Structure 1
Amino acid sequence: MSGVLWRVRVFAGQFGLLAALALVAALLITAAPRLANDLSDRALHEDVARLPYSGRDITLQQRPETLDADPTLSGAVDAIPAHRDRLPAPLPGLVSDGWFTAGLEGITFPPSGPRTFLGLRTQAGMAERVRLTSGRWPANSAGVTIVEVALSTPVAEQLGAQVGTVLEVTPNQQTGPEGGLVRFAVVGVFEPEDATALPWDTIRLTFVPFPGLPGIPDAPAAAQAVTDGAGLGVAAPRLGSPVLSWRYRIDENRIDGALLPSVTTALSEVKRTPPAPGMTASAGLDATLVQFDGQLRAVSALLAVVQAGLVATLLGLIALAATLAVERRREEFALLRARGGTIAAIGGRTLAESLVVLPLATAAGWLAGSYVPGRPAATGWLVVGAGSVATLAIPVLAALSQRRLSFTARRQDLVRHRPSVRRLTAELFFLLVAVLGAYLLRRRGLSPDGSVDPYLASVPVLLAVGAAIVALRVFPWPLGQLGKLAARARGAVAFLGLARAGRGAPVTIGPLAVLVVAIATGIFSGVVMSSIGEARDRATDLEIPADAQVSGYAFPSETTDRVAAVPGVTAVAPVTIDPASSYRTEDGATSTVQVALVDAAALARVIADSGVGVSPPPALVDARPGGGTVPALVSPEVAAEAGAGGVATIRGHLYDFTVAAVADAFPGVPAASGRFIVLPRQALPDPAVIAPDLFLIAGDASAEALRAASAPEAAEGVTVTTWADRRQALDETGANEVLSFTFTTGAVGATTLALLAVGFTVLAGARIRGQVLSRLRTLGLSGSQGRGLLVYELVPLVTIAVLAGGLVGVFLPRVIAPALGLSNFTSGAAVRTALDPLLVGAVLVLVVAALAAAVVVENVVNRRMRLGEVLRVGEEGS
């Protein structure tokens, strides 16, 4: 054992290098998935937390015929935990709170003010969440003739009702019986203790009444009064069937990426089979979780590809470092063989040395990675595999190097330019495996069942190594031509450097494959990042083909002129969208469709001034009034049904149209259903009769000014979204942090490992290069010419690696695109390969950095070998 430890101490530099690489490999395998899981879980929590209650909570509703069995609704309140526990797993454990609410709808004509839809609500625990400003809280009993209610201060002001006022409420004809009448006695006026508290989400009209739509006299106001359970039970027989609602809040901090499939399945199940008979369930969270799960699967595929490339590069570096270590001990192993030592004995000797250091280094990397925040991933077997490769690298290479006993130094500057049939067969088989893997990856995807197939995840690495093999077989001819040109030129440095490179030093399959994999991984990360960015730009152009979008509902006709007059606005295009309209074909068939009116001529001006990358079809832009029918753009599905044209309905108005263009989408008009008709507003005979719902605006006007101009009386009901806001939202929602982490890991890791590969290549050839330089120094070779000789040797290796790795990295996203699912990050926009000019510049910088690093490493090695003091370096052991 002491002899093993002594040899480990003697070769501490070699084992230290291998230990560092093994530690980094184990750390990368363990830490990267954990950190990605932590980022994805936090992004999931943020996405769920920003959802409104309707898209987050589970709501169970019943509409009983009578409340005879529970006239005070106390039993319904007590059922909150029971209904929660009947939810399918794992939903009960994810619920953080629950509330019960019951409600009725009526119409009241108050002493003053407009006609109002007045709802009556009761909610468990409401009395503890309010502050009475006057009067008292309702206290009803069975059989009362006047229902006591409480109003918030804004509702009391809107209804003109203070404490003591009696409101006569008639049933809503859509929800209640005819002829009924209920009197509400206002006994208290209150203000909420915390208006942002979760229990108020479904009854916001209780303290934020709706005043009606300005400029539309037929639009009634809306408000809600509150009472206790007994009061609602008294009013129910005359106002209609009450709606009983149990709402459960899903705690976002209890959901993680591993639970997404089970939670999505449970939410779908509860909507199909509610916990009790006669109950309906709504849960909008599953749509968000499905979308996030799609992004998570896509980013997991990307991370698997990047991680496979980095781990493969690290394993290649371990092999290069082990080869270097074995080469440095070549004389030792040859002497052992000469003294009768077997190959197994040499392998066992080096294995004992490796077992002292490398398993501990691997365990240290795994332990350090386990402290990284995030859920652990099932990568333990990869850590064991990487540790085994690092531990067995030197023993296996040492045994292989001694299969033939040799007492003389090998000529390391000679290679066989005609590879054996066995090697060519192996290379062809490797290429076949890589191509087959790419085909299967396109057909099956990387993770069809949520797991990652190791073979399919390694396909990008196989393709990169295959590209290195092809490059190794192709490059000798152009390199030979360059050597002939260098032979005719003045000076010997270029000729000698290219001649050594042409004889295989240092362009061999090992260093070349490692470099190609590293460069392909980095370029792949950069290309995917720029491609996603370009697709997001196109998606934003299609959603908001303007500098800003102002959306609301039924803006008055004069709003267009007011918005156009805002300082900074250069063009305005009004748009009206009716998502649930209909059209009639020429043969009389009627079908549901989304109909939109767009001033296409104004939209063309908005697009031109905004500089976005979309355009409306000329048939709509050039349309003018007259002619009876108007040209229309329709979706492919509608085009197949409508034929040449039909009659479209929007807001009760009928318009004859002819199909002038067919497209999957129209700029500025969302169409989730895929069935839509777009009519040119400027071609209608009476466009002013249909109020616009949104405006597309060009210019640099402020959001506040646009909001104030579009709705001066109710600006809070208007939303202003700029192109930049929407583009930024695509970068910040979903699993984008994991996506950025993946790109950063791929780019930084690949660059670092590529530089290390060049350094190892220099170290591997330092011995023979030292001999050459020592001889050339006697012939007058200067130090700068010696460094130039190294550069000429490495330029072919780096150039070939950049070309092969660059081609693989650029075309790899297109080859395996179906397996990546990148459209999950781009609002469905197709991701096309886009090469950022900055990426090309970064590759050139990497080439320069690699050559500079090689020169630095060479100078350090030469100083250690005392090249200036020794005439024939490296021959003392020959």
Structure 2
Amino acid sequence: MRAHASWVRVRLRAAPGPALALALLALVTSFLAAAFPRAVDAYEGEGLRHEMRSAPPHRGGIELSAPAAPPDGDGVLAEPLDAARLAAHHRRILAVLPAPLRADTAQSAHGVRTTEPVAATDDWLPRLEGGPTVFTLAAHADLARHARIRSGRLPTAADGAVTPTTPAVEAAVTTATARALGIRAGATVHVPKGLGGTLTVTVTGIVDPVRPDLSYWSYEPVLRTPARLFTPPPVVEPYWHGALLLPVGAAPVLPSVAPRAEAYWRVATDPDDLRAGDRDGLRKAVASLESGPLLAGLGTPDVPESYATSGLDDLLADHDRFTAAVGPVVAVAALGVGTVAGVVLVMAGGLAAAHRRAELSLLRARGASVRGLAGLLFAETAVPVLPAAALGCAAAFLLVPEGRPLPALAAAAAVALVACAALPLHAARLHRRPQPAGGREDPAPARSSRRRTVAELTLLVLAAAAVAALRRRGTGTGGTDALVAAAPVLVGLIAALLLVRLHPLPLRLAARPAARGRGAVGFLALARAGRAPALTALPLLALVVALATAAFGGSVLAGVDGARDAAALAAVGADARVDAEALPAAVTDAVRRAPGVEDVAAVHRAHDLDVGEGGAEGVTLLAVDPDSYARLARRTGLGAFAADRLRAGSGPLPALVSPGVAARLGTGQVDVGPPDGRFTVRVALVRDSTPGHAVRGDFLVVDASRLPGDRHRTPTTLLVTGASTSATALRSAARTADGGATVTLRSAERARLTDSPVQRGAEQVHILAAAAAAGYAVLAVLLSLLRAAPERTALLARLRTMGLTRRQGRGMLVRESLPPALLAAAGGALAGWAAIRLLAAGLDLGPLALGAAQGRHGPPESVPLRADAWSLLLPAAAVLVLTAGAAAVQAWAATRRSTTTDLRAGDAR
């Protein structure tokens, strides 16, 4: 050990530069390796918290309920409903929730309510066509903490004062309920009791909900806002449904009003401390509370039996499906970058072993064993690498605080192991047997060893078999598949092995015509490129996999961007859209004059158009102005057509229809439309999509000027063209529209498609992966050039003594470097294209591009992976430029030095 320590100390003092460079490489690589799994956990955890925060309360919370038995003949409840018992059971539920399920106690609620609305008998309440106003009566606890008094006072009920036979109680209503139903403080509402008699409810106060969008008020929205219910078919008519908020002390009266009254305990969940690794625990906790031992343990004499319902299990299942769909896309980038990083670490060890070949040969000549030599080199590299890897891992933990520690520690340890072992293994391979000085280093010598041939053929067969298996099985198996993630690496390995074997042939063939030329520079460059050791398997594998990863990542990002543009355009139909019940000509003119508006297409929309055979379900009528609508269709690319095709003389109206409507109508003339305004159409054009039809389904587009009556001529939608249009200007222009106008911008709709943290996180990982792959590709090029630098410098010095000018020498080195780089760039681009074609059949980018909005609009229903030309060509071109630049700098530096010194460079004697 002393000998090892002395060796390491002397070596690091003598050559600190290479040690610092290796430590820096290990630090960066360790940081990236440890940060990746933590970043995935971080965005998945943030996605889970976002889903739970943005979910409706009934989907993100838990409700336990117990039926309240109706009173017996003497008016006595079988199970008490007093406030103390309800609150005690509520506290018990919150206390037994298992981790990681945590309750938001401020928004959790309990009480007693009627499960079926009861009709009020008062004539002063508004009455719609469907019948009298109905009410849900709820004794909702903690009303004073969640409401502000607008007028009057809060209702009260003394402990034990209210029984099932009580004839009158107090209640409050929200401001929205009071406004819609005309209720004022002091008003009385009468509802019948189930066992006879009437309950008089005096409204003592009007209240404003505090934070009405959260669970306390929104778990049952009617408590906050009245709604319109509808009578069942065949005659569907509306009637009002409101809520009367009783004090919790008045709960015993509710079973006498509605036999199916129930006590409830609503648990609002708190997702702030949830992490991605908590999903399994959360799923088990919800299952136990819904129908497991936890629910059974909540039984008490006061509440002997309860039922639990929750949408959390569906929410978790949707989240798992979403992350599973995004996972393979991220895994491809991660494994590609990891492979390139590992290759670069191995190349760094190989470069160090090559530069220290004479030193290590001398140690072997003095009696050092291969094992001892490897041990010395391992200790030497471990001293700078291990602290650097630990520092990189610590930086990843610091910058990405969320995530599981074990995967990150394992990744950083793997980086440290590869970085420490690369130099010893290279040295052991080189010095296992004595080698003569000055031997050839061609990558493809005339007679390759049998071991190398067998090894290369084995790797080639295994990679080809894996690719064939992936192609046969497909990628749509769900989850992150290691074979799917390794597709670019496998294709890159095949390309690298083939290029290593085949690249000397085209270069040597190209050198033959150059030999007949007048100058020697071109021939020398091509001849050396065909024999140069710079294009070996490791640099080729690094470059090809890096280019394939960059091409894959660029194609993914381009596909995601295009899908979001298409989805936003399908949802809006133009750059902006104005919708209202009716948009008179004055509103249309005002919108045309709004700042930034270039063109406006007025459309009348009517749903469920009767088209005869096949029924009316799902067919939308679009009555348009042919000229403006045709201009819009041509500009957006949504079913472009000639305006004259919708304008015809007398006879049936020519119609532009979807394929489904075309199949229903056939080739003849068909009467369509509502009973009071039917018209005859014929199919003139068939298109898969059209502007203004955002939802999936069928459509029929006709000239509005030829429709009977004025109702179908009044626009309900304005499709606005103009990239600089503002929502404020459009709202101001449409403020006089009937029923109020809704303005939707295409840019806002597109921004809404990226609201998921999982989407944003996966895209950021892809961008960082592409940047890291580019960085490691640069290192691979530089390391391969550095390895050949001493021999090139010596050769250039010898040629200069023979009369080669500096300019010719620089040109020879640049020309020598370009052909191998060109082959590597072409191989990388082809490998990227092949990997994309391989994965395109089963890899859907829809979840990453559209998130929860996938399938909500028209096209695209799915987003297949397609090769992006710029993503394929730009990285390849960058490799050529980088190689040429690095070679030019190397040649400039070599020609600036004295030839006397350079003549001894690389001399083995």
TM-score (ref. length: structure 1): 0.82
Corresponding position: 1:566 with 2:585: no
Residue 167 (structure 2) aligns with: 145
Residue 18 (structure 1) aligns with: 22
- Alignment RMSD (CA, Å): 4.9
Corresponding position: 1:58 with 2:62: yes
> Which of 341, 344, 347 pairs up with 2:374?
347
State the Cα distance separating 1:398 from its structure 2 match.
Answer: 1.7
> Which of 33, 38, 56 pairs up with 1:34?
38
CA 1:194/1:832 → structure 2, altered by over 3 Å: closer, same or farther? closer
> Which of 197, 202, 205 pairs up with 1:188?
205
Corresponding position: 1:789 with 2:805: no
After alignment, is 251-260 or 155-164 more displaced?
A: 155-164
After alignment, is 282-291 or 526-535 more displaced?
A: 282-291
Residue 740 (structure 1) aligns with: 763
The runs of 5 or more residues in structure 1 that have no matched partner are none
After alignment, is 286-295 or 677-686 more displaced?
A: 677-686
- Which residue identity does 2:187 align to in structure 1? T
- Which residue identity does 2:144 align to in structure 1? A
Corresponding position: 1:316 with 2:340: no
State the Cα distance separating 1:760 from its structure 2 match.
Answer: 0.9
Q: Which secondary structure state, in structure 2, belongs to the residue aligned with residue 830 of structure 1?
A: coil
Residue 831 (structure 2) aligns with: 808
Corresponding position: 1:856 with 2:889: yes
Q: Which secondary structure state, in structure 2, belongs to the residue aligned with residue 326 of structure 1?
A: helix
- Which residue identity does 1:41 align to in structure 2? G
> Which of 596, 611, 615 pairs up with 2:635?
611
Residue 480 (structure 1) aligns with: 508
Q: Which secondary structure state, in structure 2, belongs to the residue aligned with residue 378 of structure 1?
A: helix
State the Cα distance separating 1:794 from its structure 2 match.
Answer: 1.3
Residue 227 (structure 1) aligns with: 246
Residue 801 (structure 2) aligns with: 778
- Which residue identity does 2:904 align to in structure 1? V
Residue 542 (structure 1) aligns with: 570
Residue 433 (structure 1) aligns with: 462
Residue 396 (structure 1) aligns with: 425
Corresponding position: 1:458 with 2:472: no
Partners of 2:125 and 2:167 lie apart in 1 by 24
Residue 307 (structure 1) aligns with: 334
After alignment, is 276-285 or 807-816 more displaced?
A: 276-285
Q: Which secondary structure state, in structure 2, belongs to the residue aligned with residue 825 of structure 1?
A: helix
Partners of 1:73 and 1:691 lie apart in 2 by 61
- Which residue identity does 2:54 align to in structure 1? R
Residue 50 (structure 2) aligns with: 46
- Which residue identity does 1:148 align to in structure 2? E
Instruction: Decide whether the 8 Å contact of 1:538 with 1:613 is kept in 2.
Output: no
State the Cα distance separating 1:727 from its structure 2 match.
Answer: 1.6
CA 1:874/1:160 → structure 2, altered by over 3 Å: closer, same or farther? closer
CA deviations 1:334-358 (Å, max 9, x no partner) are 3344445444443344344344444
Residue 100 (structure 1) aligns with: 110
Partners of 1:6 and 1:516 lie apart in 2 by 39
Instruction: Decide whether the 8 Å contact of 2:781 with 2:883 is kept in 1.
Output: yes
Instruction: Decide whether the 8 Å contact of 2:109 with 2:267 is kept in 1.
Output: yes
Instruction: Give the % identical residues.
Output: 27
Residue 858 (structure 2) aligns with: none
After alignment, is 853-862 or 314-323 more displaced?
A: 853-862
CA deviations 1:160-201 (Å, max 9, x no partner) are 5444333445x7xxxx97998654323334444555664222
Corresponding position: 1:756 with 2:756: no
Partners of 2:822 and 2:187 lie apart in 1 by 88
State the Cα distance separating 1:465 from its structure 2 match.
Answer: 2.0
Q: Which secondary structure state, in structure 1, belongs to the residue aligned with residue 272 of structure 2?
A: helix
Instruction: Decide whether the 8 Å contact of 2:658 with 2:689 is kept in 1.
Output: no
Residue 521 (structure 1) aligns with: 549
Partners of 1:396 and 1:525 lie apart in 2 by 33
Partners of 1:850 and 1:605 lie apart in 2 by 53
Corresponding position: 1:166 with 2:193: no
Q: Which secondary structure state, in structure 1, belongs to the residue aligned with residue 901 of structure 2?
A: coil
CA 1:535/1:761 → structure 2, altered by over 3 Å: closer, same or farther? same
Partners of 2:435 and 2:383 lie apart in 1 by 29
Partners of 1:352 and 1:408 lie apart in 2 by 28
Q: Which secondary structure state, in structure 2, belongs to the residue aligned with residue 484 of structure 1?
A: helix
> Which of 278, 284, 289 pairs up with 1:259?
278
Instruction: Decide whether the 8 Å contact of 2:29 with 2:415 is kept in 1.
Output: yes
Residue 133 (structure 2) aligns with: 117
- Which residue identity does 1:98 align to in structure 2? S
Partners of 1:774 and 1:800 lie apart in 2 by 28
Residue 870 (structure 1) aligns with: 901
Residue 862 (structure 2) aligns with: 829
Partners of 1:607 and 1:791 lie apart in 2 by 54
CA deviations 1:529-550 (Å, max 9, x no partner) are 1122122223333333333345
Q: Which secondary structure state, in structure 2, belongs to the residue aligned with residue 870 of structure 1?
A: helix
Partners of 2:95 and 2:273 lie apart in 1 by 17
Instruction: Decide whether the 8 Å contact of 1:563 with 1:706 is kept in 2.
Output: no
Partners of 1:328 and 1:243 lie apart in 2 by 83
CA deviations 1:577-604 (Å, max 9, x no partner) are 56xx999978xxx9x9645444477699
Partners of 1:710 and 1:292 lie apart in 2 by 39
Instruction: Decide whether the 8 Å contact of 1:313 with 1:518 is kept in 2.
Output: yes
State the Cα distance separating 1:127 from its structure 2 match.
Answer: 2.7
Partners of 1:302 and 1:280 lie apart in 2 by 41
Residue 250 (structure 1) aligns with: 269
Instruction: Decide whether the 8 Å contact of 1:307 with 1:746 is kept in 2.
Output: yes
State the Cα distance separating 1:662 from its structure 2 match.
Answer: 9.7
Residue 329 (structure 1) aligns with: 356
Partners of 2:652 and 2:284 lie apart in 1 by 54
Instruction: Decide whether the 8 Å contact of 1:623 with 1:631 is kept in 2.
Output: no
Instruction: Decide whether the 8 Å contact of 2:345 with 2:419 is kept in 1.
Output: yes
Alignment of 1:679-718 (within 5 A): 679-680=700-701, 695=717, 697-700=719-722, 702-704=726-728
Partners of 1:520 and 1:368 lie apart in 2 by 29
CA deviations 1:41-81 (Å, max 9, x no partner) are 23443343233434433345666563644575635554435
CA deviations 1:74-118 (Å, max 9, x no partner) are 35554435566788x767446655212525443565648665735
The size of the alignment, in residue pairs, is 852
Partners of 1:818 and 1:518 lie apart in 2 by 22
Residue 857 (structure 2) aligns with: none
CA deviations 1:505-550 (Å, max 9, x no partner) are 4222232222222222222211211122122223333333333345
- Which residue identity does 1:542 align to in structure 2? A
CA 1:719/1:49 → structure 2, altered by over 3 Å: closer, same or farther? farther
Partners of 1:293 and 1:733 lie apart in 2 by 14
Partners of 2:477 and 2:409 lie apart in 1 by 22
Q: Which secondary structure state, in structure 2, belongs to the residue aligned with residue 250 of structure 1?
A: coil
Residue 80 (structure 1) aligns with: 90
Partners of 1:699 and 1:238 lie apart in 2 by 58
Instruction: Decide whether the 8 Å contact of 1:483 with 1:495 is kept in 2.
Output: yes
State the Cα distance separating 1:135 from its structure 2 match.
Answer: 3.7
Residue 877 (structure 2) aligns with: 844
Q: Which secondary structure state, in structure 2, belongs to the residue aligned with residue 494 of structure 1?
A: helix
Partners of 2:792 and 2:586 lie apart in 1 by 80
Partners of 2:104 and 2:674 lie apart in 1 by 43
The runs of 5 or more residues in structure 2 that have no matched partner are 72-76, 231-235, 297-303, 855-860
Instruction: Decide whether the 8 Å contact of 1:585 with 1:645 is kept in 2.
Output: no
State the Cα distance separating 1:666 from its structure 2 match.
Answer: 7.4
State the Cα distance separating 1:327 from its structure 2 match.
Answer: 2.0
Residue 385 (structure 1) aligns with: 414
Partners of 1:750 and 1:512 lie apart in 2 by 14
Partners of 1:839 and 1:236 lie apart in 2 by 71
> Which of 503, 510, 522 pairs up with 1:494?
522
TM-score (ref. length: structure 2): 0.79
Q: Which secondary structure state, in structure 1, belongs to the residue aligned with residue 866 of structure 2?
A: coil
Partners of 2:673 and 2:196 lie apart in 1 by 35
CA 1:565/1:14 → structure 2, altered by over 3 Å: closer, same or farther? closer
Instruction: Decide whether the 8 Å contact of 2:559 with 2:845 is kept in 1.
Output: no
